[in-house]
């Protein structure tokens, strides 16, 4: 059996790294230097796709074949408003006040670049997230943990914020930052089987 190409993760996200390790992968981590604030698009799905591709493209330029570069970006959308990582505690609190008792969509853009063939694939996964109603004290306590500052939408499904998520419609791992089923499909489209990495 042919040795699978190295997988290069164009992200500093520990959550994404954990997901990949969970399925038996040990990627080379190489965060991109893309300035996300310089990329704009009114459509959140187009925006995460563009950001994921920008990150993967920048990192791909640093490597020679063989290899597959994975770039991702996540945003939370609620009522047509897009939320990324909150810049500070007051912003996180304001986001949680908006999320409380409502339903939103977590969009994650996924881009794969095969360094050998040059082929690029880009897809977006969307998961519906239903939140419990939070009290002011609960929101303050959660913001005090600093966890919301690290996450799009100011919550982490895999962390303390998981207690506020009542249910999901769609891929659970997508809410953490990477849709594993979608990654499997995209790798297969490039001709690779993820079980080769085990």
Q: How far is CA 44 from the centre of its chain?
A: 13
Peptide bond into 103 cis (omega under 30): no
pLDDT tens, residue by residue, 122-151: 999 999 999 999 999 999 999 999 999 989
Q: What is the pLDDT of residues 65-104, one digit of tens each?
A: 999 999 999 999 998 899 988 999 999 999 999 999 999 9
Q: Is the dihedral of CA 175, 176, 178, 180 positive or negative?
A: negative
Q: What is the pLDDT of residue 164?
A: 94
Contact status, residue 27 vs residue 17, Cβ threshold 8 Å: yes
Structural domains of the chain, with CATH? 6-197 (3.90.950.10)
Mention every residue, 6+ apart, whose C-beta is less than 8 A from residue 48: 73, 74, 75, 107, 108, 109, 124
CA–CA separation, 106 and 9 (whole Å): 20
* pLDDT attached to residue 125: 98
Q: Kindly give the residue spans of alpha helices, DSSP state H, lying in 28-126.
A: 44-60, 89-99
Residue 73 annotated to the active site: yes
pLDDT at 43 over 80: yes
What is the β-pairing status of strands 7-9 and 28-29? parallel
Tokens of 151: 């996450």
Question: What's the rounded Cα separation, in Å, for the pair 102 and 105?
Answer: 10
Of 35, 41, 73, 88, which is the active-site residue?
73
pLDDT at 2: 58
Enter the pTM of the model: 0.93
Percent pLDDT > 90 in the chain is 89
């Amino acid at each position: 059996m042919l040795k699978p190409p190295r997988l290069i993760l164009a992200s500093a996200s520990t959550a994404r790294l954990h997901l990949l390790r969970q399925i038996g992968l040990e990627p080379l981590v190489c965060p991109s230097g893309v300035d996300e604030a310089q990329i704009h698009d009114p459509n959140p799905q187009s925006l995460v796709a563009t950001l994921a591709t920008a990150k993967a493209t920048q990192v791909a330029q640093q490597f020679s074949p063989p290899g597959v570069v994975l770039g991702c970006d996540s945003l939370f959308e609620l009522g047509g408003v897009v939320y990324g990582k909150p810049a500070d505690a007051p912003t996180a609190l304001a986001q949680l006040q908006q999320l409380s008792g409502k339903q939103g969509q977590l969009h994650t853009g996924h881009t794969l670049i095969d360094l050998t063939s040059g082929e690029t694939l880009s897809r977006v996964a969307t998961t519906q997230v239903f939140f419990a109603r939070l009290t002011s004290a609960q929101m303050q306590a959660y913001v005090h943990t600093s966890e919301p500052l690290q996450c799009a939408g100011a919550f982490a499904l895999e962390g303390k914020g998981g207690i506020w998520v009542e249910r999901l419609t769609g891929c659970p791992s997508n809410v953490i930052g990477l849709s594993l089923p979608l990654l499997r499909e995209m790798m297969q489209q490039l001709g690779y089987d993820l079980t080769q990495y085990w």
